[in-house]
Structures are given as C-alpha cells and as structure tokens.
A and B are shown apart, each in its own frame.
Chain A
Amino acid sequence: MKRAVALAVLAGVLLLTLETGSAQQSAPFPFRASPDRVQALVAAWNDGLPYVPGEVLVKFRPGAAATRASVLSLLRGSAATRQETWIGDVLLVRSTADPESGAVALQLAQQPEVEWAQPNYLLRAGATPTDPSYFRQWNMDAIRMPAAWDINPGGGPAVTVAVIDTGVTTASQSLSLPLWTGSAIETVIIPVGANPDIAASRVVPGVDFVFWDGPVIDFDGHGTHVAGIALQDTNNGFGTAGIAYQARLMPLKVCLGHWDLQFMMSGSGVPGFLDPGDEGFCPIAEITQAMRYAVDNGARVLNLSLSAPIPLPLWADTMRYVVEQGGFISLAAGNSFEDGNPVEYPAGYASTIDGAMAVGAVGRSKARAFYSNTGSYVEIAAPGGSVRDGGFAGLIFQSGVFFPDFDPFSVIVPRFDRYVDVPFQGTSMAAPHVAGVAALLRAQGITSPAAIEAAIKAFASDLGTPGRDDLYGYGLVDARTSLRGLGATR
C-alpha cells in the first residue's frame, strides 16, 4: 500500500527524473546463489522465515575447528550435500538435507566442541519509501552541516565509507536478465544506471555478496538513498547534498530486494511472481562477510542501516574485529518502537563496543521519531525523518532510484536507470548521518574508532532529559562542534 501511494505521488514529479546514459551491452547473469539456495531464499521470502533454510553459522571452541568433520557428521545427509564457507573464524554450513536451521543450530550448539551455532538469520532494511518533495534537506541544518563544511569541506579521498546495504549501482548499461513476464521466463533487457550525483571517481570497486558476480546494482533503492545521505556530491549545482562528499564510497551489496530474488528465481527456472509486498532481506552470513571485507580492504567507516531483533554473538565478534582493524561502525537502532520496541541488532551490541554507535532517529522538530527504538543501547540521535513531524517535508530527501520504474505492484519489466529526489524515513536514514560525520572526523584527524565515537558523543546536542537517556542517547549529533574539537578552555 505504501508503495502504491508512493507511485501515485512520484508519478507527479516525473519531470524531476534524470536518465543516465546506457551503453547497449548485455551482461551474463552469474548469480551468487546456486539453484538450491535460490529455492531456499524464495521459501524464506514466501513463508516469511527469519532465516535462510538449511544454513547455519557455527563457531568452534579454540582448537576444536579441526574436529568439525566429526561434529558436522551429526547432521542429516552426507558431506556431499553440504557446503562450508569460513567467515573469519565462523563456519557457514549450507545443507540441502535439513532446511530446519533452528533445529540444526540447536543440535550443533549442544556439542562440546561448539561455542555457538545459529541459523543464518535475515535482517530487514529499515526505511519506507514515501512521496517525494524537493530540496528539503532540513536534516543537514539540524546537525549544523553548513558550518561543519566550512571547517571540513566533505572529507577527502583518503577516507572510504562502506555502505553495507542493498547496493549502490556502479554501472550504467543494459543487462540481460531472466524474468518471469507472466506467461514465460524470458531474457529481458534491464537498464541500470549509476547515480549521476555520486561521482564515479569517488566509488571504489564494490562487491555483491548476494546476487551475482557482476557489478553492484541496487534493485531496491534503499542502499542508494543511504549512501546519498553520507556521500552524495555537494556544491555541484545538482540534486541534493551529502555529508562527506569528497570521501570514497565502497558499495557492498548484502540484501536481496524483490527484483533481486525475482531475477534469481526466474534464472533458476521457477515460474511465477514473488509477493510484491515483501521488502526484502539480508542474510547475516553475507553481512558479516561484507563487514570483514570492508575493513580488510581499506574502508574505515562502515554504515549498516539494517537490523533485526535477533541477538547473536557473531555480531559482537564481527564488530570487534572491524573496530580492532580501525573501522568505525554506524548502526541503525531500529524502527520497531510501535511494534513492541525490541532491542534490535547488531545495534544492540554497539554500546558495548567503543567505535560502534547505535543511532536513533529524530524528526524535523528534533523530537524522537515515532518509529525509532529506544533503550539503553541507543547512543546518539540523528535525523531520520518522520511523516508525523512536518508531513512530507519532514522526511529525508536524497537521490534515489525512481520508484515507479520498478514498483513491483505495477511493473513487470523494471528499469533502474533514472533518479529522483526521494523521501524516506527511518533509523536507516539516521545512521548514515553519523557515518558521514565520522568520515569527516577521520579526515579531520581523529583516526581511532573509539575516539570518533567519543567525539560524537562529547559534542552532541543534548536532547530529552539532561545527560544520556534512552530516547536520544547522548543527543543529536552536531557535526560542526564535533569537527571543531577542543581548545585549551572551550
């Protein structure tokens, strides 16, 4: 329904869209997932499962990894039916013989050699597309970006920000992809285009961990919007502004949206349309792989606008690894306040790790956004937008893929090569504000993730009850004051 409303309003601003150049060149579709895994992912989509069927993550106790063969022999099926992939010191086991990941994880966790075992859970991207407005970036003033840009105009190319999300399209071309068109699976031409408001020279090679081996393509729009807040070009007389507009972007795709899975399902020879109402998911195995990849390949700021109410030791282990390697992590605190306000993860671990921050959202009036989770794990607040706080003008506008071009409720053959200013709301939008400021702080000279976190906290504008509180953490991030730091007396 939300998407349908978005379609109606977005159609009204069609004139604002921009078409990127497209070379007439076809590309193969070497999907990441085997047909068996596509089947598992489709099952997760259709049945609303919180994990990938048949996939379990296992951490062995120190020195016990060598015994994994005997431990895994407890599982149904032969070794030939299993695939094993190491992610750091965690083993991802894929088994087609037993799709009940929860039961498998429980069985493995009871073995003395195993420290923990868990299903490969799926996280959700937290923002909801709504109707567009135009050039209303109140959020930049709210965190005093204009004054901050005077001090540090957009960071610099020495800082790379990894956006671990639905991807940010890095190629402008026409892809040939398999797609169910209603009567048959056909190979169709899908135009894709890079965001014209993020200079290609600032984009380092990304990696697609979930869809295919080709270039990173955002078939959803969430990652593009998130990346835009942190990194979109600024002072170029075009579109909207981004915070760290001279830093580099490393797009890492870990989420599957509707079209990703539709293409994969069709490529596996499975006819039919997916339920267009689902907003997609992001497997934990791929997310943690991407986090490690990011910091191992030079990213020093990571943004994760993804969350789920699933506590897992793997999160804390991976976050600590990233911070130890010098990476600062900004995490969305979650959008479930009105759904019971559960602690959402990985943000739920951030308060225990210096160098990782859980970010809540405020609206235009700087009051907590209605959806933004609260709790002791919320460390900082940033603009996330709220339709209940200023209407559409209270949302976060950033360059995004033109939604009517790929609205699964109305489109059979989508396109992803046109961009428009799109309003979103969510802690997904709040987190990249903090990531962008972190990139500026790093460019300014604060290189330690713990110090970046300390600076953001120390200079935040206190909101709510004096001092730290569960609604706003230490307050609203203040980019200008954070960047200006301390003198001897002030």
Chain B
Amino acid sequence: MTRRLPSLVALAVLVVPGAALAQSAVTGRAYVTLGTVFMTASETFDAVADTTRINVVGVGGTVSWQGVFVDVAVSKGTLDGQRVFVLDDEVFDLGIPLEISVRPVDIAGGWRGTTGPVSPYGGAGITFLTYEETAEFADPGDDVSERVSGWLLLGGVDVSILPWLHAGGEVRYRAVTGVLGEGGVSEAFGEDSVGGTSVAVRVSVGL
C-alpha cells in the first residue's frame, strides 16, 4: 500500500489539475503532509513507547468545486517501544522490543474558502485505520494486524506561494475504536481509542 502512494500523488498532480482546467469550476490539488499525532490513548502509548505522539507522513488529494471539496488522504506512522507490565500506575519495562504501526486512510468532504492567497478549509469524514503491533518472542496469533473504521474532523489553511504551489497547516481529529481496550496495557488503562489529534504541515501542488 505504501509503495503505491508516490504514484497516486503523481497521478493526482497530473490528472486533477487537467480535469479542473477542462471544466473550469473544478480544481484539484495533491499534497504531502508531515506531522505528529497526539494519541487519545496517551497512557497506553506512554507506557509502551515512552511517548504519547506518533510522527506521521502522508499524501493526499483534494478536488474542489465551488468551495466544496472532497479529500482523500493516506498517512503512516510507527513507534518503537517495549512490552511492559503495569500495576496501578507503575510501569515496568520488560525489555522486549515492540513496534506499532498506524495507517489511516481518510475520506472527507468539506468547504474551502479563499481570501486572497489564503485558503482556509474544514470538513468531516470517515477513516479506515490499519493498526499493527509486533513484538519479539511472539507465538502465532500474538501479533496484531487489524483494520477498523471511525470518523474524523479536519481543518486547516493553505497559503498560495505560487499559483500552483501552496503551503499550510492542518489539524485532524480521528475517533477510532475496536483495537485498543480489549487487552494489553490499553485494557489496564481503560483506553479504547486508537485515534488522536494530528497536527501537520502540508505542501500542495495544483490549482
């Protein structure tokens, strides 16, 4: 899936602006993002990885028509940590390496305004998130690879640097349940959301 992302971006860059030009009212942008997700299950991730954030990179594309847009974005982040044992609030590190990977695919719609070179936007949508967790000394069935879905809110602003180049910032909030909370540290802490709030910088090309 990740290997396909660059080609999707290239396709978006080449095709969407062309479509926009052909229909005059339709515009399109492709973008890359670099950001960090502040995980809702902060105690869980702090316990296993000593951090509550996951750094993510992503790509996406937006098609707009008369201020309304549809956005598709894919991102990925990984965390290295270790397996632990928790008693009350005390966490004991066991030194067994663990890797967590989250890959949300977001499909959203919303409204985009334009004030000179500044283009704020906001919207909502659904997210399909693939959560993987692997660790050493695993027996068959111990490692986790699950796909779950939830909803998201997003908002941001693009600033046009050139007519076809834009830079900005974006915030997304994802609410996703179904992976955490049924075992492991997340159950101990009573946390069941694998979502969170991401803050990212975004560079777009297109009209």
Contact = CB atoms under 8 A, between A and B. Distances in A.
Interface residues of A, number: 21
B144 A490 contact: yes
A196 to B, nearest CB: 32
A147 B85 contact: no
Contacts of B180: 488-489
A484 B83 CA distance: 7
A444 interface: yes
A451 interface: yes
Contacts of A444: 94-95
Interface in A469-490: 483-490
Contacts of B92: 445-448, 451, 485
A487 B184 contact: yes
Interface string B125-136: 000000101010
A470 B194 CA distance: 38
A85 B85 CA distance: 42
Nearest to A459: B85
B94 A448 contact: no
Interface string A364-405: 000000000000000000000000000000000000000000
B142 A490 contact: yes
A90 B69 CA distance: 80
Given A150-B137, A490-B183, A485 B96 contact: yes
A486 B86 contact: yes
A445 B93 contact: yes
Contacts of A448: 87, 90, 92
Contact of B184 (A147, A450, A483, A486): A486
Contact of B133 (A147, A445, A451, A489): A489
B40 interface: no
A401 to B, nearest CB: 37
B182 interface: yes
B27 interface: no
A150 B136 CA distance: 10
A437 to B, nearest CB: 13
Contacts of A455: 85, 87
A445 B94 contact: yes
A458 B185 CA distance: 12
A485 B87 contact: no
Contacts of B173: none
Given A486-B185, A488-B184, A151 B85 contact: no
A253 B71 CA distance: 75
B5 interface: no
A486 B179 contact: no
B137 A147 contact: yes
Interface in B32-91: 41, 44-45, 47-48, 83-87, 90
Interface string B119-151: 000000000000101010101001010000000
Contacts of B185: 486-488
B186 interface: yes
Nearest to B45: A488
A4 interface: no
A190 interface: no
A312 B188 CA distance: 36
Contacts of A150: 137
B98 interface: yes
Interface of B: 41, 44-45, 47-48, 83-87, 90, 92-96, 98, 100, 131, 133, 135, 137, 139, 142, 144, 179-180, 182-186, 188
Given A151-B137, A451-B87, 17 more contacts: A147-B137, A147-B139, A444-B95, A445-B95, A446-B85, A451-B92, A484-B137, A485-B84, A485-B94, A486-B84, A487-B83, A487-B98, A488-B45, A488-B180, A489-B186, A490-B133, A490-B184
- Ordered nearest first, which 4 A-B pairs have the shortest CB separation? A451-B87, A485-B94, A485-B83, A446-B92
